[in-house]
Chains A and B, each alone.
Chain A
Amino acid sequence: MRDNLTIYLTMIRAAVLTRMEYRADFIMGIIGVFILNAGTLATSWVLLSRFHDLHGWTFWEIVFLYNLWLLGHGIRAVFFRHINLLEQFIVEGTFDQILTRPANALVQFLGREVHYLGIGDVLLSITMLTLAYQNLDLHWPVWMFGWMVVIALSSAIVEAAITLLLVSTSFLTTRSRALVNSASLFSWGVVQQYPVDMFGKLLRNIVTIFLPFAFMNYYPALLFLGKQDQVSWGILTWYAPVVALILLGLSIAMWNFGIKRYQSTGS
């Protein structure tokens, strides 16, 4: 465990040095991320300035929901964005190199890259969450701010783990991109900006059980916004970290299974 951490941190240092070589992209990327998210929020604003609320969620509550998602997504984007690129790692032979070294393959894969775009997501989401907190006139007890940190990390893990789980099919088919893209639609196309309670049971079950992206923002937000008593599934607001850990276990198992299959059937 300690060895893995040392190796991971050393690799992250190299990855940061790599990014520093392309410093010019940094500012433009951050600005771009701001504008992109502002565009989506602007659409929500147009909608809610006309309709007052969406299934009982006001504009600033939607802003909170959206940015809670963005915070977890941003953290995962800084450290684990390249999980999506596993297919490319395999095809280009980078993955074979990982197997010729004595460290854990997953640690070597995860430590391979960092990305700065996620920093824009994190900065923007913290700003917007603060604004939402003020506009909604929330008064959290101190422990809830600590819980917020736990939720941010577990959101990042939920997204990273689901992606890792799906992308590990690259070891079997080397064509996993379409699968990952379709699945992530449940994340940025559904839970990101819509309160899950407005959808039917089927879709709610999918984003709760099969691709549990709703634990990135919807369920945790119920507690933060004092809505956990308004829905029958309010208890689930506490379970995001548990879901994150289960997904983490499943994705690591899938990863290991994938490598085994790759070693015995790959070319």
Chain B
Amino acid sequence: MSLFWIFSRQNFYQQSAYRLNFWLEIAGIMLQIYVVYKLWNVLFEQTPESFGGITLPQMLTYAVLGMLLGSILSIGEGVHTYIQSQVRMGQITSDLMKPVDFIVHMMARDFGQIFVRLLFFLLPPMVLSYLMFDMVVPTSPAQIAAFVVAVVQAWVILFFCNFMFGLISFKTLDLMGFSFTYFALVRFASGQIVPLWMYPDVLQPILNFLPFKSVFYTPLAIYNGVLNGSAMTTALLVQTAWMVGLFAVARLVWGRIHHSLIVQGG
């Protein structure tokens, strides 16, 4: 556990060292929030009936929080980019020689980053958004608790997806094509920008089959109240199932790669 704390503290100092970057990034996030705010306002004015019974504040809450979660659980940077750069620089062996389990080590590192980003880049813009826009607040304690659980589980799921994606770099260093594909897939299939219930019916089975739905759609839909009651419980259980399943697969794949690394002598 202390490892999680160490990485968080280290990231805190790094983040507070570059102040100009902080302000510029906050400004950038606010701009993106304004863009989605405007987008949904325009669409709602045009055809409120196409929203399927969702109110505008509910939709805005989903969109704004989706933008924010997207900038915290960033797909562009994370454990996969870390593994890539370590492999490329030939420094991955130093990570492997540390007396901590590699997956735990990577998780702690990722946690530190995301926790600090949460403090710096989620909370302030969220407060600002609530001040400026008409958005909903989760009311029941159960809903709030479910949301927190959903966010944590979403992080773990995305972590294992990123982790396994990063492992490709042990096979090939030319990851650009893969990265673009992965990036596009997660953005499209996670419901971060457009809620998944708006997707055409043909796509629904595919979306349900992928873990990315659990990453953004589930916590966001719990927060704005679209998912509730038994549907919410099911969604949380699906998340847990993904989490356990991905963890098992990640262990297995990593075990094999680690083994072959040792045989080859690093």
Contacts and interface: CB of A to CB of B under 8 A. Distances in A.
Interface residues of B, number: 36
Interface in B1-32: 18, 20-21, 24-25, 27-28, 31-32
Interface string A15-35: 000000000110011011101
Interface stretch (A85-93, A174-182, A213-221, A248-256): A174-182
B188 A43 contact: yes
Interface string B180-199: 11011101100001100011
Interface string B26-49: 011001101100110011001100
Interface size, A (range): 35 or more
Nearest to A197: B42
Nearest to A186: B31
Given A43-B194, A178-B24, A203-B34, A50 B50 contact: yes
Nearest to A175: B20
Q: What is the predominant secondary structure among interface residues of chain B facing chain A?
A: helix
A218 to B, nearest CB: 14
A245 interface: no
Contact of B184 (A25, A28, A35): A35
Contact of B28 (A24, A36, A43, A185): A185
Contacts of B265: none
B97 interface: no
Interface in A108-127: none
Interface of A: 24-25, 28-29, 31-33, 35-36, 38-40, 42-43, 46-47, 49-55, 175, 178-179, 181-182, 185-186, 189-190, 194, 198-200, 203
Interface of B: 18, 20-21, 24-25, 27-28, 31-32, 34-35, 38-39, 42-43, 46-47, 50, 174, 176-181, 183-185, 187-188, 193-194, 198-200, 203
